[in-house]
A and B are shown apart, each in its own frame.
Chain A
């Protein structure tokens, strides 16, 4: 039987993506110029799902406001997880609105519709719980699985040895009994992990492994959004109309005749791009972004309502929403060591991450690898190097 209901888990903040998650959960961060969750819904709708159930929690308003009651004609039910006590606990919140088998997946990772269809088909043919698995060189960062004759026989979170070839793809088909199985799962440190429940299932039932390849991308750190955008553009998973090969421009956007768009590039609804601006390659502009005359934007993701005043240069930059960058802002980009808390991530290609509603008044320069918190105010002529905290005022 084809499964018609999907449960999408979108309640967690995604703390490693701070400061971009100040006002919204990770699934609402941009994959190119649309929320990650929109891509997840696209894949589900394209795979034939007829009912979407979304578990919301952290900043749930943002999910509800964006999607409303339907997505592409498919009705959405929202259920709330008020405390984020693990993926199993999240799924449990959907119990009252799910009747029968369901596909379950995370709302913060982009997967191919074919992956979802394959899991659905496996369940339809065997009637057994089915899980997407993928081959990975290094399984130590994921949930690794051991498969015999198409059945999962072992599942290990972040294994210390490299005997594994396959990882858990996070796309599941469960029958209605999954909720009872979660009830019987032991909590660890107060949390209920879905993988623990699957371990429990392995003791008494067959769990099918559905080996897939194809798109499977997510963002762990803010700069990963640049990689995600590149992947989305390369695969053409864009809704705006194509003006040219890999140049997508929404019909409501205004791009000056004297501006240059270099593929791949996507310009969202209501955007304005001024004369002699150069946008691309690998640039995604969200809704209502303004780029002033003579500005150059490359390898960057600018989220909704961001303004870039004339004669600015942004390379390898991620902005949050409603960021205001004054005249002659410069982010030169290139590889840098990025410090997050006490951790240093070496040689990351990152110009700057500038979070929601930060303001740079003009002539502000960013040393590569800078992280600017939400609502920060950078005075004219400042050079930013390293981390600027939320709401901070930086003066010369």
Chain B
């Protein structure tokens, strides 16, 4: 995915404002970046590489203009080169466009434009937009109508921002890609995400699909496709801009792992009453679903697996689906509640799955971290996980908060016998996570096994999604092979991969049948000389069969999942640090994936 920004009203500081905003959006993509400022003509600078490379390129250039747009790119069409970097221009150089998303009909548009004599300089889908605008301008349209006309030709997902030479406005439109306006005292901003302009204003307007915005010296207007003005609410965001700092840590990921106690406190605040044994999640409590289908991707999918187990344990049929599969092969829904779990609320696959469910008349609920995100707005209901902004590409604290929020959802919408015990365990969770952070031997484990050929993770019940998540984290940031399995599946194939150079992380909590069976699996891998790292609360005797133990406090198995996961996050983090990986921005990955 990509990040876009635009601003008007910053005078001589326009360029600095754009570059500053791009640096805050760099988490959305970082293989090329560029800016364009409009005056009587367009001044443009773009470069492959990080924002720092763009700054370098700008250092010996003079760009002038008091309206401008910028872009940080994560390649979808065409490799990261200077040519493919945004902004893109038309043949005359009087139009500049930045775009996030995918234009699905770009090939036919491009063919049409080429045969009409337009020259393309990049491999991107985006470049059709400035040429379409150029055609409309040539036909006599004013800049706003020209942009509208071009937008009307596009199919697919987009958030676009446009500047035109000799025009003091930034034009923008969205469909299926995030776009938010920032309303300052004398200036107006637009961006893919709030942090881009949060240093300048906390007043925001969220654009909806099909809406068109014009920003100029007089302020801003939002209109629909017909040009009718839409009255928009101005929201105030609470997030502190400095929360994007690393506060003394080398990486955002480690900072965010350490923020889990705080994130969990925020998630639970005001929602649990242990002495009364009740959970308060507002009007969501009345949903009383008779069935639940979760849709999610990546780490959120692992949280969804946990969520589905919670409902099943409460006697409510529930399943977790990979959103990308669900969107194109939607199962029968019946009267199930469809719950999308997405940190950003902008994950394209999850949005598609939720839309597929809604088309079939299903009730939908978004479990998300971002207030005003597309998922939150499109679903019938939203439950916020309140983890605060997460900058590291690898999801850490948001997974912990998702698990806590899903527990609240299950407790709040169904009646289970041991609500008070779970609430008590949830309230203990921040302190217990702190205990893991204080005592974890993860770094020593990482040092011992940084050269391993592969890493395997096994668990049962609530610890199975943790095994999957442990492996995903390891893959994402160390670039090493890692797989997570339901412990019982190990002997049905994967055991063939196990050698003395493949450490196996076994999550064993409690001392019930699941624990005993997982210990049986531990013995299987031990017999193949694989080193075993047990993550355990010490209730079973798994340490007898393990080479190393990572301890967690004794608690409810649902809460134990968060604690075990914290150790695994730290093992992955320290392994990646030892291997010198780019931890906060692993290769080929972006924070929230807004393309399908």
- Pair B258/A290 contact, Cβ less than 8 Å: no
Q: Which of A61, A73, A293 has the most CB of B within 10 A?
A: A61
Is B139 engaged at the interface, CB distance under 8 Å to the other chain?
A: no
- Pair B274/A252 contact, Cβ less than 8 Å: no
Q: Which residue of B has the minimal Cβ distance to A23?
A: B438
- Pair A65/B265 contact, Cβ less than 8 Å: no
Known: A60-B248, A65-B259. A321 touches B274 (CB 8 A): no
What number of B residues sit within 8 Å (CB to CB) of A? Answer: 31
Q: With A and B bound together, what is the CA distance between A245 and B275 in angstroms?
A: 26
Q: With A and B bound together, what is the CA distance between A305 and B553 in angstroms?
A: 14
- Pair A56/B430 contact, Cβ less than 8 Å: no
- Pair A287/B258 contact, Cβ less than 8 Å: no
Is A326 engaged at the interface, CB distance under 8 Å to the other chain?
A: no
Is B219 engaged at the interface, CB distance under 8 Å to the other chain?
A: no
Is A128 engaged at the interface, CB distance under 8 Å to the other chain?
A: no
Q: Which residue of B has the minimal Cβ distance to A374?
A: B438
- Pair A288/B431 contact, Cβ less than 8 Å: yes
Give the contact stretch, choosing among A11-19, A37-45, A268-276: A268-276
- B residues near A270, Cβ cutoff 8 Å: 265, 268-269, 427
Is B428 engaged at the interface, CB distance under 8 Å to the other chain?
A: yes
- A residues near B248, Cβ cutoff 8 Å: 56, 60, 63-64, 78, 80
Question: Which chain B residues numbered 393 to 438 have a C-beta less than 8 Å away from chain A?
Answer: 427-428, 430-432, 434-435, 437-438
- B residues near A307, Cβ cutoff 8 Å: 428
Q: A interface, how many residues as a size bin?
A: 20 to 34
- Pair B268/A290 contact, Cβ less than 8 Å: no
Q: How far is the CB of A50 from chain B (nearest CB, A)?
A: 13
- Pair B274/A67 contact, Cβ less than 8 Å: no
Q: With A and B bound together, what is the CA distance between A263 and B106 in angstroms?
A: 71
- Pair B427/A288 contact, Cβ less than 8 Å: yes
Is B273 engaged at the interface, CB distance under 8 Å to the other chain?
A: yes
Residue of A64, A68, A80, A288 near B265 (CB, 8 A) is A288
Is B242 engaged at the interface, CB distance under 8 Å to the other chain?
A: yes
- B residues near A63, Cβ cutoff 8 Å: 248
- Pair B428/A305 contact, Cβ less than 8 Å: yes
Question: Which chain A residues numbered 316 to 356 have a C-beta less than 8 Å away from chain B?
Answer: 321-322
- Pair A68/B269 contact, Cβ less than 8 Å: no
Is B247 engaged at the interface, CB distance under 8 Å to the other chain?
A: yes
- A residues near B166, Cβ cutoff 8 Å: none
Q: With A and B bound together, what is the CA distance between A307 and B265 in angstroms?
A: 16
Q: With A and B bound together, what is the CA distance between A357 and B433 in angstroms?
A: 12
Is A256 engaged at the interface, CB distance under 8 Å to the other chain?
A: yes
- B residues near A68, Cβ cutoff 8 Å: 242-243, 245, 247, 259
Q: With A and B bound together, what is the CA distance between A67 and B275 in angstroms?
A: 30
Q: Which residue of A has the minimal Cβ distance to B270?
A: A252
1/0 contact trace for B427-468 toward A, CB 8 Å? Answer: 110111011011000000000000000000000000000000
Is A200 engaged at the interface, CB distance under 8 Å to the other chain?
A: no
Q: With A and B bound together, what is the CA distance between A287 and B255 in angstroms?
A: 21
- A residues near B111, Cβ cutoff 8 Å: none
Q: Which residue of B has the minimal Cβ distance to A66?
A: B262
- A residues near B434, Cβ cutoff 8 Å: 305, 321-322
Known: A70-B242, A252-B269, A272-B274. A64 touches B435 (CB 8 A): no
Q: How far is the CB of B419 from chain A (nearest CB, A)?
A: 15
- B residues near A293, Cβ cutoff 8 Å: 275
Is B153 engaged at the interface, CB distance under 8 Å to the other chain?
A: no
Question: Which chain B residues numbered 251 to 267 have a C-beta less than 8 Å away from chain A?
Answer: 255, 258-259, 261-262, 265
Q: Which residue of A has the minimal Cβ distance to B428?
A: A305
Q: How many contacting A-B pairs (Cβ < 8 A)?
A: 78
Q: With A and B bound together, what is the CA distance between A254 and B423 in angstroms?
A: 14
Q: How far is the CB of B115 from chain A (nearest CB, A)?
A: 54
- A residues near B243, Cβ cutoff 8 Å: 68-70
Question: Which chain A residues numbered 7 to 35 have a C-beta less than 8 Å away from chain B?
Answer: 23
- A residues near B270, Cβ cutoff 8 Å: 252
Is A75 engaged at the interface, CB distance under 8 Å to the other chain?
A: yes
Known: A272-B275, A290-B274. A64 touches B247 (CB 8 A): yes
Is B77 engaged at the interface, CB distance under 8 Å to the other chain?
A: no
Is A76 engaged at the interface, CB distance under 8 Å to the other chain?
A: yes
Q: Which residue of B has the minimal Cβ distance to A304?
A: B431
- B residues near A61, Cβ cutoff 8 Å: 258, 437
- B residues near A287, Cβ cutoff 8 Å: 265
- B residues near A321, Cβ cutoff 8 Å: 431, 434
- A residues near B249, Cβ cutoff 8 Å: 64
Residue of B240, B273, B435, B438 near A272 (CB, 8 A) is B273
Q: With A and B bound together, what is the CA distance between A256 and B273 in angstroms?
A: 11
1/0 contact trace for B330-347 toward A, CB 8 Å? Answer: 000000000000000000
Q: Which of B246, B247, B248 has the most CB of A within 10 A?
A: B248
Question: Which chain A residues numbered 118 to 133 have a C-beta less than 8 Å away from chain B?
Answer: none
Q: Which residue of B has the minimal Cβ distance to A22?
A: B438
- B residues near A80, Cβ cutoff 8 Å: 248
- B residues near A60, Cβ cutoff 8 Å: 248
- Pair A70/B437 contact, Cβ less than 8 Å: no
- A residues near B430, Cβ cutoff 8 Å: 288, 305
Q: Which residue of B has the minimal Cβ distance to A324?
A: B428
- A residues near B437, Cβ cutoff 8 Å: 61
Q: How far is the CB of B127 from chain A (nearest CB, A)?
A: 39
- Pair B258/A64 contact, Cβ less than 8 Å: yes
- A residues near B431, Cβ cutoff 8 Å: 288, 304-305, 321-322
- Pair A322/B259 contact, Cβ less than 8 Å: no
- B residues near A23, Cβ cutoff 8 Å: 438
Q: With A and B bound together, what is the CA distance between A118 and B430 in angstroms?
A: 40
- A residues near B242, Cβ cutoff 8 Å: 68-70, 75
Q: With A and B bound together, what is the CA distance between A75 and B248 in angstroms?
A: 12
- B residues near A254, Cβ cutoff 8 Å: 273, 275
Q: Which of A65, A73, A256, A269 has the most CB of B within 10 A?
A: A65
Q: Which residue of B has the minimal Cβ distance to A70?
A: B242
Q: With A and B bound together, what is the CA distance between A69 and B256 in angstroms?
A: 12
- Pair B275/A69 contact, Cβ less than 8 Å: no
Q: With A and B bound together, what is the CA distance between A304 and B432 in angstroms?
A: 12
- Pair B262/A65 contact, Cβ less than 8 Å: yes
- B residues near A56, Cβ cutoff 8 Å: 248
- Pair B438/A76 contact, Cβ less than 8 Å: no
Q: Which residue of B has the minimal Cβ distance to A291?
A: B275
- A residues near B246, Cβ cutoff 8 Å: 69
- Pair B269/A269 contact, Cβ less than 8 Å: yes
Q: Which residue of A has the minimal Cβ distance to B273?
A: A254
- Pair A76/B247 contact, Cβ less than 8 Å: yes
Q: With A and B bound together, what is the CA distance between A189 and B240 in angstroms?
A: 44
Q: With A and B bound together, what is the CA distance between A65 and B268 in angstroms?
A: 19
1/0 contact trace for B349-380 toward A, CB 8 Å? Answer: 00000000000000000000000000000000
Q: How far is the CB of B261 from chain A (nearest CB, A)?
A: 8
- B residues near A75, Cβ cutoff 8 Å: 242, 245
Q: Which of A68, A256, A272, A307 has the most CB of B within 10 A?
A: A68
Residue of B240, B275, B432 near A274 (CB, 8 A) is B275
Q: Which residue of A has the minimal Cβ distance to B438?
A: A23
Q: With A and B bound together, what is the CA distance between A270 and B245 in angstroms?
A: 27
Q: Which residue of B has the minimal Cβ distance to A322?
A: B431
| Nearest 10 interchain pairs by C-beta | A69-B245, A305-B431, A78-B248, A322-B431, A70-B242, A64-B248, A69-B242, A69-B247, A65-B258, A68-B247
Q: List 22 A-B contacts (CB under 8 A).
A: A61-B258, A63-B248, A64-B248, A65-B258, A68-B245, A68-B247, A69-B244, A70-B240, A70-B243, A75-B242, A76-B247, A252-B270, A269-B265, A270-B265, A272-B273, A288-B427, A288-B430, A305-B428, A321-B434, A322-B432, A322-B434, A357-B435
> Beyond the given A270-B269, A357-B435, A357-B553, could you list 20 further A-B residue pairs with CB under 8 A, ordered by the A residue number?
A23-B438, A56-B248, A60-B248, A64-B255, A68-B242, A256-B275, A270-B265, A272-B274, A272-B427, A275-B275, A287-B265, A288-B265, A288-B430, A304-B431, A321-B431, A321-B434, A322-B428, A322-B431, A322-B432, A322-B435
